[in-house]
Amino acid sequence: MTYDIHIIGGGLAGSEAAWQLARRGFKVRLSEMRGTGERSPAHQTDNLAELVCSNSLRSDDHEKNAVGLLHHEMRLCGSLIMTAAEKARVPAGSALAVDREVFSGAIEQALTALPNLTLVRERIDVLPEAGLTIVATGPLTAAALASSIGAATGADSLAFFDAIAPIVYRESINMDVAWMASRWDKGAEASIALGGDGRDYINCPMTRDQYLAFREEILAGEKGEFKEWEANTPYFDGCMPIEVMAERGVDTLRFGPMKPVGLDNPHWATPEHPNGRWPHAVVQLRQDNTLGTIWNMVGFQTKLKYAEQQRIFRTIPGLENAEFARFGGLHRNTFLNSPTLLDRQLRLKNAPHVRFAGQITGCEGYVESAAVGMMAGIMAALELSGKSWETPPRTSALGALLAHITGDAEAETYQPMNINFGLFPPLHDVKKKQRKEAYTERAKADLAAWLPLVVV
């Protein structure tokens, strides 16, 4: 069968994209490597949309939870992933957890029942030079195809070892302790030209005793283990875990990400600090999105377990009440620097016949991957129909996720991200306790006018 579009990858994103296109009547070729005798190191079966980690799609609460809101919006768009999840649902409180086999079975059955979809068990090693294509090969893209993508996008466009620093909600940082400044006020002119005020970092100061206690907590904290296929992946100097640096000497962190030089603490102009206003060590946070709602802990990539990160990082002065949009981590991953490489329709800027979808775009999580696949499928369907794509409202979960991937995130520090309210335009005039409900109410109202443009 000739086809209108080629989708590479039969995971969550590829399956969702294929569904959105095929049910609109377009002929789809869906290529999946599993079933040829080859699998990625993470997969255990040849099933489409296999869940390789947890069986949970996280919270299903769409009244005050960002991922629950994303569930709700995907259901309104006719998502196959959400329909299959409902069929495979198992008890998990307010979370949406599924029976893995029932879930993937429902997806494969729905797709193979479509007469205009051809599922081909084949490995694709090279990006197609022509013809509409969606690449949804996930975070463990096979080496040959990854090499082809790298050749098409530039040698530095793909990350193969994902060094993630924690991200903190700006409103949870105690600015009575922390302060805004750049080291030696460097880069002030460039900052001002970009709309800043020359004080681009949030700085959390430590005394010597606080620093030594913090280092001991880092050394003693419980760490996660690498997966078998990650074990031989070397650390790069630029993404050394903080616990590895801490092991290398008492002052290694102070000469690395916690370097205090050039940072004069205005809160410390008191007789209580006989050494002056200069901290012994400083934790810096850098703005992570254009909205200024989430801030990245600079250089704090780590294998500490999530509960340990929350406990230990809240001992940092100024972060005692920190709320985390994302915890840190290190693992093997393949993803694009999407804000630089992709346009607002997920198309490769220098090869617009190719779209990318799912985790390879730098979203994180099952639901986010499927949501980006869904949007890529709808975008392609509209393009094939000669119709225009209307971007979902920036205030919706779909719009916030798409905006983050395709331009809102800082390209230089772009890392995989789950959906969270820090990606939404802020509601400063709403009390903090009511803000989550306000975000979801606004999203639902704004999305209502957009849905008729894409729903079939």
Provide the annotated binding site: 9-14
Per-residue DSSP letters for 356-368? E-GGGGTB-SHHH
Sequence-separated (6 or more) residues with CB below 8 Å from residue 105: 47
- Of the candidates 163, 259, 161, the one whose C-alpha atom is nearest the C-alpha of residue 211 is 259
Counting DSSP H helices and E strands in the chain, the numbers are 13, 17
Tokens of 432: 């903090």
Give the list of residues 6+ apart from residue 323 with CB closer than 8 angstroms, or none.
Answer: 168, 169, 171, 172
Q: What Rg, from alpha-carbon coordinates, does the chain have?
A: 23
> Residues 235, 301: contact at Cβ < 8 Å?
no
Q: Which residues, listed in sequence order, are joined to residue 205 by a DSSP beta bridge?
A: 282
What is the distance of C-alpha 429 from the center of its chain? 27
124 SS3 class: coil
d(CA 372, CA 136): 10
The answer to whether the CB of 362 falls within 8 A of the CB of 371 is no
Annotated binding site for FAD: 9-14
Partnered with residue 118 across adjacent β-strands are 29
